[in-house]
Each structure stands twice: as structure tokens, then as C-alpha cells.
Amino acid sequence: MRLKGFIFDLDGTIVETDYDWSRIKNEIGTGGQPILNYINQLSPVERQQKYQLLEQYEKKATDQARLKKGIKSFLEFLRQKKVKIALVTNNSWANTEIILRKFNLSFDRVLTRESGLWKPSGLPIKSIIDYFQLKSQECAVVGDSLFDVQAAREAGVNHIFILTEEAGRFSGYPVKVFPSIPALQDFVRREYFQPS
């Protein structure tokens, strides 16, 4: 079966970024909730304060972001195969745009948190699949975190590819784990795009 859509996460997937999420969550005081869920249920004044704090960390990480090895060639490969490619990130549009411009990347569709849809909900993934007029089974999600896994599953996506050097973190989840983008590309080519 050929895959027709690939939905990528940004941070840790397209680019390497340095986020100390436990420190950030601690400082914001999320009490174990996903950050965006927590912030968005606060009063307007508090919400603005917490967003400012989050944005300081995000800006710093964005400025230091490095393109992941092999990602350009993988995106080019998918384009050649006429696969739709999308980016879904919980990051802001401002930071996403900086990264897209800096590394000269383009996607058929980009969703940031300003859409009001964010992971771990499956809604942003589902929104992309509907936009492309594809079925969940025809799409793959590529990410690096449990949020990506939860969002993909909630959207009915079974092809979940995780980039990580800590495969153990994902044992027990219905995902395929890869140490690098070239390794993922080899697998995708072999498994889904063999000449018939």
C-alpha cells in the first residue's frame, strides 16, 4: 500500500531544538497538564504572562535550531512520489516561520497552535487529513514524542514513525522507531514505494 500523506512534527523532528520541558513546565506551573491546555484555561491576564514565559524559551530554542540531517532529501523524495506533506506543531506561527525561512522549507499545509488545535489531541492531524481529502490509513505521522503518538492514534493514523535514540521510551506503543531520518527514508522507500 502506498502512503499519500505525511504529517510531520517540527521540533525534534524537522529540526533539533534544545528544550528542557520539565524545567519549563515547572516554571509555568502546569501541575502535570499539557502546557497549552493549562495556559488556555487561565484568566486572560495570567494566560498572557504564561505565554510570555513560554515564548521566551521557544524563541531561544528557535534561534538555536539545527536542521535534522537528511530531512531535505526525505521531503524531496516524498514530493517526487507525489505525497502530500504537512507540518503540525504546537509551536507558534512566528517561530515556525523563522525556521521555515531559515532552512528554506516548504509544506503543502502548516498548522500551528494559533489554529486552536494542538496535540495531544488528534484534531490538528484530522484537520490535515480532511484538507488533503485523504483517509487516515493513507497517511503517516512522523514525530519524536508521546504527544505525536497520541494525536496520530486519536486521528486514526496507524503509520506512526518516531525519531528517537531512546527506543525504550516507546516500547509498548504501536509505532516504528528510527534513530535517524535516513533510516526512516530507507524503510519508507522499501516498504511503501517499491516499484511494482
Nearer to Mg ion, 4 or 9 (CB): 9
Rg (CA), the chain: 17
Q: Do the beta carbons of residue 9 and residue 148 sit within 8 Å? A: yes
Q: How far is the CB of 43 from Mg ion (least distance, A)?
A: 29
- Name beta bridge partners: 176: 161
Q: How far is the CB of 11 from Mg ion (least distance, A)?
A: 4
And the C-alpha cell for 71? 530531512
Nearer to Mg ion, 83 or 151 (CB): 151
- Indicate the residue whose CB is closest to Mg ion: 12
Q: How far is the CB of 80 from Mg ion (least distance, A)?
A: 26
Cα end-to-end distance, the chain, whole Å: 11
64: buried, middle or exposed (CB in 10 Å: 19+, 13-18, 0-12)?
exposed
For 136, list phi and psi in degrees, rounded to 5.
Answer: -55, -40
Nearer to Mg ion, 11 or 58 (CB): 11
Contact positions toward Mg ion, by CB under 5 A? 9, 11-12, 144-145
Q: Do the beta carbons of residue 127 and residue 151 sit within 8 Å? A: no
Q: How far is the CB of 19 from Mg ion (least distance, A)?
A: 9
Nearer to Mg ion, 49 or 164 (CB): 164
